[in-house]
Each structure stands twice: as structure tokens, then as C-alpha cells.
Amino acid sequence: MKLPFAEPYKIKMVEPIRRNTRAEREKWIKQAKYNLFNLRSDQVFIDLLTDSGTGAMSDRQWSEMMIGDESYAGASSYFKMKNAIQEITGFTYFLPTHQGRAAENVLFSAMISEGDLIPGNSHFDTTKGHIEYRKAKAIDCTIDEAFDTSVDHPFKGDIDLIKLKAVLENNPKEKIPLIIITATCNSSGGQPVSMRNIKAVSEMAGQYGIPLFIDGARFAENAYFIKKKEDGYADAGIREIVREMFSVVDGMTMSSKKDAIVNMGGFIALNSETLFDKAKTYNILFEGYISYGGMSGRDMNALAQGLYEGTDFNYLDSRIRQVGYLGMKLREAGIPVQFPFGGHAIFVDAKRFLPHIPKEEYVAQTLAIELYIESGVRGVEIGTLLADRDPVTRENRYPILELLRLTIPRRVYTKNHMDYVAAGLINVFDRHLEIKKGFKIVKEAPILRHFTIELERL
């Protein structure tokens, strides 16, 4: 018999979670104003809200926590993190920040001005938020295939070179301070960007003299997909692929809460000394001195160790197989999901799941609420609520896709948990025609509204 696949780790510490009843969940979600962010974690059985900062650290990472150096300046933990970043990414300079959006805040303060255009592949919401906060514009140049969940394309995170060229050709160079590739591309479904595409974008950026950055929150998962899917990379090591990806760009922003498997942390890494010097000042202003940037020494130690573990093939293989296992169970049941499966989550196509609910009633949010009521599983809406209003017209922006994201934390849940999630969603699917109405907004913030929005049942 062929030996089956199994996780390359065993569990040393457990945290209890409690199942609850449907009646309790109906009461709690109403009290939470139908916003899943407002639920208390003990009202959730399986939490698939995010893979950000929710991973399980290893015994090595916890040991590193104990030997963190908390000196304000020049701490050994800083150098440990610096060495790990240099070894893994190849960039010369780095600035620690407390998380990914802080890295965006610091970098964009140094690079983006009012009226600028920043092309990319479906920028993540905080990236877009930080661009729009500066009265600049994020331009989505993702390939069209990404917006049809039923189309099979190996790299749905790729940038459409024709769309990108049109932006570069039709606007003055001074208006485009940088291009951002998000790898993997969270908003399109944790979809990878191919090495070929990264190199082609890099070449085009070079021709126009525009810096190219990678939003690398899930860079290791991206490298895994390149190894698995792209011609010529089957025998390459993950770290080798990572170095190659970063060798053709000018820098990166990082939310270490993802692929560095820590609960908090981030950084900027780059090659330009001039830009580093400029960003340094903002780092001190917003984050802290440049040798800690909002992180404690122990966190920097755990992050450094996490970067090595997060770029280990066997770890990545088990992680992405687990996500794929959930995806396969849902697909086998006929549930429409973004295909091929992404790296960190399964994205359920809510418009195809609930075709009778109009977009004005927030389809993906409706599905997320139904799944919670059915099973106690908390997913997250990646749809109209997240897309916010147009900053100028204040009209709702209706994205092409309305998605329910089931985000899998790293090294946290078992195969039985995945079976439970699948059963919960299949039950909702079986009764989807009984879901007659969606929701309306009763209160919202002017930017990043989904976190605090309040809804009412129609």
C-alpha cells in the first residue's frame, strides 16, 4: 500500500474550543449586528476568519521567545531578524514594523503622493486603503481569468501585461511611484503569481523606470505553487525560488502574521539606500526606533525562526494540501468555489451559491451569516462590504466576485475540523433556496467599513 500523506509535526499543546447551539448562535449573531467581526471568539467553534496571526508557533519559536533581547537599540534579536530576512529574501536593507499595514504606511509615506496611480493585481484592502487615504488610486490589472471562479488557470494572481502597459503608456511616469504585485493574491482567492509573470512585470517596470514591489504576506505559499505548477521549477528548492522571485523586484512589504507564522509582526525589505533612508524617518515616527519598529525582541526572534519554518517544503506541502482537502470536499458536493484552490483559503462563490439574492443585499455576507448559524464556523465576506464605497461618488462598489473566504490558520486545525466545516456548508447548500433575503446596512464607517459595519435582516 502506498503510504498516505501526513503532517510533518505533532501537537504538544492544545486549546479547548466549545461547540454551541443553533439557538445561541442566532442570538449572538443578532447581538453582533450581523457582523462576524463583532462575535466573541468563544461564540465561534471553528474560526476561519483569517490566517493572519492565528497560526500555531513551533517549540523552536517559543524557545526563541525566551531568549529575546529587549534592548532598545542594537538588540541581538534585531540582528537575528535582519540575518533571516537577508538570507531568505536577498534584500540589503530592512525595517521592522508591527504588522503588514504598518509596513505599507511607512513605505507609502515615503513613496506615494496625492493623484498618484499604483497598478497591481487586486491590491489587498489595507494596501488599497493606504493608497486611497493618500488620495491616490489603486489600479487593478489582474488577468480576467481570476474573476471567473470556474475557469481553470494555474496562476490566477498574474498581472495582465496589456492592462499594465496601458496604464504605464497613458500616464506620466511621475504619477506612478511604484507597481505592487501581491503574491499570493489574497483578493483573487489566494491565487499565485507565476515567476514568468513576475519577471515580465519586472522587465516592463524597468523599461518605464518604475520601482516594483511585492506584497509578500504569503510569498512562501507563492513559491510553493511555482514549484508545483510552473515548468522548470519542479526540482528547485522553495528558498531558491523565493530568492529568484525577489531578485527581480526592488523591495517588499511583509505581514509576518502569515508566512512567518507569528502572531504579530511585519517588515519592509528593499535594495535602495536612498529609499531606505527616506522610509527610516517614517518608521521612527510611526513604528518605533529602526531596530525594533513596534516589535519586542522576543517577537523578532520568533519571526526570524518562523521565516525558516515557513519556507520549509514539507510544512508548505501539508499546509496547502489541507486547504486543498477542504476545497475538494466542497467541490465534490457541487459547491462553487474559486478553482484551482488558493494557498491560504477556500473562496466560495456566493453569487453562484445564492443566485437569487441580489448584490444590493450583500450576498457573500448573507452566506457567511448562514454558515455561522448552521455550524458555528466563522468565515469572512470578501465582497461588496469589503469593497467599500467609491471615495468620490460614495456609491457602493460592487466587485465582480462575491466571495465567502474560509481561511485556514497555519498548523491549527485537523482533518476532522475540515470535515466539520465542509458538512456545515453542504447543509447550507442543501437548503439554499430557503434563504430568501439578504441584509441592509444600518451603520458604517467612511473607510474600511467591513470591520465595524452594522446590519439588519431584510
160 given a catalytic annotation? no
286 given a catalytic annotation? no
Q: Does 99 bind ligand F0G (CB under 6 A)?
A: yes
59 given a catalytic annotation? no
Q: Which three-class secondary structure state does DSSP give residue 108?
A: helix
| Signed CA dihedral, 383, 385, 390, 396: sign only | positive
Q: Does 261 bind ligand F0G (CB under 6 A)?
A: no
217 given a catalytic annotation? yes
Q: Does 124 bind ligand F0G (CB under 6 A)?
A: yes
Q: Does 215 bind ligand F0G (CB under 6 A)?
A: yes
Q: How far is the CB of 123 from ligand F0G (least distance, A)?
A: 8
| 253 upstream amide cis, omega within 30 of 0 | no
Q: Give the HSE-up count for residue 176: Cα atoms under 13 Å, Cβ half-sphere.
A: 24
Q: Which residues of 440-454 are buried (b: 16+ CB within 10 A; e: fewer)?
A: ebeeeeeebbbeebe
Comparing CB distances to ligand F0G, the nearer of 186 and 366 is 186
The active-site residue, picked from 27, 30, 59, 72, is 72
397: which 3 cell numbers? 462598489
For residues 108 and 129, what is the distance between their CA atoms, to the nearest angstrom?
A: 11
Q: Does 126 bind ligand F0G (CB under 6 A)?
A: yes
Among the listed residues 266, 297, 306, 424, the single contact to ligand F0G using CB under 6 A:
266
125 given a catalytic annotation? yes
For residues 71 and 300, what is the distance between their CA atoms, to the nearest angstrom?
A: 12
Q: Does 197 bind ligand F0G (CB under 6 A)?
A: no
Torsion region of 390: left, alpha or beta (phi above 0 gives left; psi -120 to 50 gives alpha):
beta
258 given a catalytic annotation? yes
Comparing CB distances to ligand F0G, the nearer of 80 and 344 is 344
309, 315 in Cβ contact below 8 A? yes
Closest CA to 185 of 213, 155, 165, 210: 155
Q: How far is the CB of 363 from ligand F0G (least distance, A)?
A: 20
Q: Does 217 bind ligand F0G (CB under 6 A)?
A: yes
End-to-end CA distance of the chain: 55
Q: How far is the CB of 413 from ligand F0G (least distance, A)?
A: 16
Q: Does 54 bind ligand F0G (CB under 6 A)?
A: no
Q: Enumerate the active-site residues.
A: 72, 124-125, 215, 217, 258, 450
Contacts to ligand F0G by CB under 6 A: 50, 52, 99-101, 124, 126-127, 182, 186, 215, 217, 255, 257, 266
